[in-house]
A and B are shown apart, each in its own frame.
Chain A
Amino acid sequence: MWFYDAREIAHGMDLSPIRISLETSVAATAVVTLAGTLAARWRIRRRGVVYELVDGFFLLPLVLPPTVVGFLLLLMFGRASVLGGILYSLGARLVFSWPATVVAAAVTTFPLMYMTARAALEQVDAPMVEAARTLGASEARVFREILLPLAWPGLAAGMVLTFARALGDFGATLILAGNIPGKTQTLPIAIFFAVEAGDTREAVRWSLVTVAISLAALGALNLWTRHRKGLAMRVVEQE
């Protein structure tokens, strides 16, 4: 059977797609969590048509096909563009490098984190924030000590979604980072090229690995949520 011997899987194969996918997803999740949360924080205190347009821009990667996002990024970071030109002159070539996988995953997942973070921050009871302000707290302290802790469950859910989506990106990553085994070949890309080469066994193996990682991420979120609830219950029971 094609999945018979686990040792053969571990031995005979190049496991780099797993490592690259995990590294890329973790890095993208870190970047996007920070950027998405800060963007959401910046946005929630503002009203107006201009900001609605900004929203549209932030959410664009969600509604565009990933290949289009990848292509636009390629244009942006290519040698011919201003930004790309500057990067090249500094000796930093983004296109077809590992960081490109992170950029592609980050850009395609940003809208998810941004939306979740915004919803999570907006649902924090306004009087909490206002009470903190009247008690002399700076905006930074309000964010750190009131908004973040109270919005944390929502932010954590956003992080898991981001991680899962980053793990799955194919189109944008392929166009911006290419398919370089051991360097930019992530799990979805490895699956695609295995299928194209007619290597069903390998495609199935990578698919199972992907499913396992995604399930593990969801399971971790569930466990953690239950743990938190458990803590809260125990505190109440001490009454």
Chain B
Amino acid sequence: MEFQAEIEAQRGAFALALRLETRGERVGILGESGAGKTMTLRAIAGLERSVRGRIVVNGRALLDSSRGVALPARERRVGLVFQSYALFPHRTVAENVAFGLERMNSAERETLVRGFLGRMRLEDLAGRYPRQLSGGQQQRVALARALVTDPEILLLDEPLSALDFHLRGLVEKDLLDTLAEFRGVALYVSHSLEEVYRLCDVILVLARGRALAFGPKEEIFLHPPSLEVARLTGCKNFSRARALGEGVVEALDWGARLRVAQRHTEARHLAIRANHVTFADAPGGENVLPCSLVESTETPFRRTLYLRLDTAEGNGWHLQAEILKDRWEELKGRPAPWYVRLDPERVFVMAE
């Protein structure tokens, strides 16, 4: 399975320009609203006007501006699951799923549809209309309708965002199983970091219509190539930086010299994720800094601490740390100062 896309598209003042290449990994497309995520999917599906470039799937060109090739959406063999699912309200579940199989003879079509309905646990709902289904069921119908046509590319546009929170986990598990069986290229758009991380292998980070980063998810999350990518992948703690020599960087905004395991030649910024910040019992260790708690907020299982570094200047807080509730119970009675530890393996530096 090979997929290459070089896309340039324009819509009003917004311009999209990116390259994407994959050999069958599941690609997650991350970015804030308006970054061009949905437009990228639409351009690949052939739904966007005035797209230039090249899109090739297994040697078959869906688009090649240099040769004047631009297949219409109906000939691209692309399965698209819309954010709103776009189920046909006047058709039953079975009719929705069968819609893309018009050319098949009816016996074959029926067998195939029944098979997919079974696979997606929809067989009891075959005669229902979309408005009679729950959000999770609608999502499965949309997925079945796209997959039954045996597409080479499956495009998913925030397929979980329309679901209630409690449903999301369950549906996500189903989706993971379905994607694992899918033999084509899957592109998954979302603005949820965790969703993308759990469901995809490779990540494309988009901002203002450009690709900021593209690579294996571990790589991108561990060593974001730029400040913006770090931010978009959920990193909260940044400092301007200066390289002092092999493995030592000065964190200018934090007033501290830090050891860094990551090999680097240049360092303009350094950062550490909030969940990687830990606490030491005593001063004096490697990358241990005295600090005090400014405020904290809680979620059901975690607590976010906003910390002021004694070494740094300025008011307010400098670091966010995210810890489990149990750890918080141990820490909260301690007298100031506390000692925060920035693990050299977890601190990363960026050349820009």
**Partner-B contacts on A (CB < 8 A):** 125, 127-128, 130-138, 141, 146, 149-150, 235-236, 239
Contact = CB atoms under 8 A, between A and B. Distances in A.
23 contacts: A125-B84, A127-B82, A130-B45, A131-B82, A131-B86, A131-B88, A131-B145, A132-B99, A133-B72, A133-B74, A134-B47, A134-B76, A134-B79, A134-B146, A135-B100, A135-B145, A135-B149, A136-B100, A136-B102, A136-B149, A137-B74, A137-B100, A235-B129
Prevailing SS type, chain A contact patch:
helix
Interface residues of B, number: 28
Given A130-B73, A131-B80, A137 B102 contact: yes
A136 B84 CA distance: 20
A138 B74 CA distance: 7
A38 B244 CA distance: 73
Contact of B86 (A127, A137, A239): A127
Q: Which of A125, A127, A131, A137 has the most CB of B within 10 A?
A: A131
Contacts of B129: 235
A237 B319 CA distance: 56
Interface of B: 42, 45-47, 72-76, 78-80, 82, 84, 86, 88-90, 99-100, 102-103, 129, 131-132, 145-146, 149
Contacts of B145: 131, 135
Contacts of B74: 133-138
Contact of B80 (A130, A149, A239): A130
B132 A235 contact: yes
Given A133-B47, A134-B47, A134-B80, A149 B90 contact: yes
Contacts of A150: 89-90
B341 to A, nearest CB: 50
Given A135-B149, A136-B100, A137-B99, A127 B72 contact: no
A136 to B, nearest CB: 5
B132 A128 contact: no
A235 B75 CA distance: 35
A189 B57 CA distance: 67
Contacts of A149: 90
B63 to A, nearest CB: 15
Contacts of B100: 135-137
A128 B163 CA distance: 19
Contacts of A134: 45-47, 73-74, 76, 78-80, 146
B86 A125 contact: yes
B79 to A, nearest CB: 7
Nearest to B79: A134
A138 to B, nearest CB: 6
Given A130-B45, A133-B46, A137-B74, 18 more contacts: A128-B86, A128-B88, A130-B42, A130-B47, A130-B73, A131-B82, A131-B86, A133-B47, A134-B45, A134-B46, A134-B47, A134-B79, A135-B146, A146-B88, A149-B90, A150-B90, A235-B132, A236-B132
